[in-house]
Amino acid sequence: MRRRRFFESSLAAAASVATARGDIEEASRLVAVHVDSGAVRGAVLDVRAGGRDYARSYGTAGDTDAIFLLASITKPMTAAGVMLLADRGELRLADPVHRFIPEFREGARARITVRHLLTHTSGLPDQLPENVELRKRNAPLGEFVERTIRTGLLFAPGTRYSYQSMGILLAAELCQRITDTPFPEFLANDLFGPLGMGRSALGLGPFALEDTQRSQVEQGPPHGGLGRPEAAHWDWNSRYWRELASPWGGAHASASDVARFFSEFLPGEDTTVLRVETAALMVRDHTAKLGRSRGLGFALGAGAGCRLHTNHGDRIF
């Protein structure tokens, strides 16, 4: 896991420097070094800067259209689905979650809002205490939802930041209830399709398991199975997990599709699906008072985000 984190951090820094000096090949060389060393088995580098597009595949990724399990990159995609409904006036960030999930109102749960779910401030846990047990018996996603509705809170809503995949799960659940459409289908029709993300799906969608890149689970956290044979039926490479369509970590996409998604949030650029003001709102810091920089579904680095130039954002708060 440490090697992967080093690679990701090094690549991000190198790509930034290389792009700034017009030398994307340096970033490509860095990726190739890590693939050649075996630290990473397959990768695709997709860089778009200064009017120049660069794409190259490495290792087990036979071409630049290779499809990867995105893990937590899924979270901003789920958040974008929520904000599509905000743009349509079907929800507000200040709405209590129990407006859409009526059974989620016991005790402090009644005070949890849509904004809390998207900013990791709801008090819900990252993973359920029985997370591994559920995966081992290939529990359906609906059971994760039911247990999340009943699970204990770690703190009073809005008082702390704590990374929480289960809050993102409930964000997807409320979208599903509002639209009366399975959430993977909603994202396919209303987000991925309009953005031209033809190599993307929540879950496997139309793709065959064997046509996706395998995750290096042996370098991951314990709840990823660590590559142990007894975890093969529930780890991140299993058909169960790849088809589960978990809205916190189960999306698949090509590198170019990921680039297309994130380009929706570049300041000064036109948007395709979201309102410009909504895209800006998603990458604005909503948790500065809690000592973290989180947007709506996004983690923000120094200087990230941009100011709103209209009052539209106020209408979806």
Question: If you average pLDDT over every residue of the chain, what do you get?
Answer: 90
Domain locations in the chain?
Answer: 1-64, 67-317
pTM of the model: 0.89
Which structure tokens are listed for 54?
A: 């660069």
Residue 134: strand, helix, or coil: helix
Which structure tokens are listed for 293?
A: 């920089």
pLDDT band at 224 (very low <50, low <70, confident <90, very high): confident
How confident is the model over 296-301, as a mean pLDDT? 92
How confident is the model over 281-300, as a mean pLDDT? 95
- On the CB side of 91, CA atoms within 13 Å amount to 28
DSSP 8-state secondary structure symbol assigned to residue 245: -
pLDDT band at 22 (very low <50, low <70, confident <90, very high): low
DSSP 8-state secondary structure symbol assigned to residue 104: -
C-alpha–C-alpha distance, residues 176 and 85, integer Å: 11
Q: Indicate whether 317 pLDDT > 90.
A: no
pLDDT of residue 23: 74
Q: What is the pLDDT of residues 140-189, one digit of tens each?
A: 999 999 999 999 999 999 999 999 999 999 999 999 999 999 999 999 99
Please give the class, per CATH, of domain 67-317.
alpha beta
Q: Indicate whether 26 pLDDT > 80.
A: yes
C-alpha–C-alpha distance, residues 101 and 169, integer Å: 12
pLDDT of residue 253: 98
pLDDT of residue 302: 63
Q: How far is CA 233 from CA 61, 134, 213, 216, in A?
A: 24, 12, 17, 15
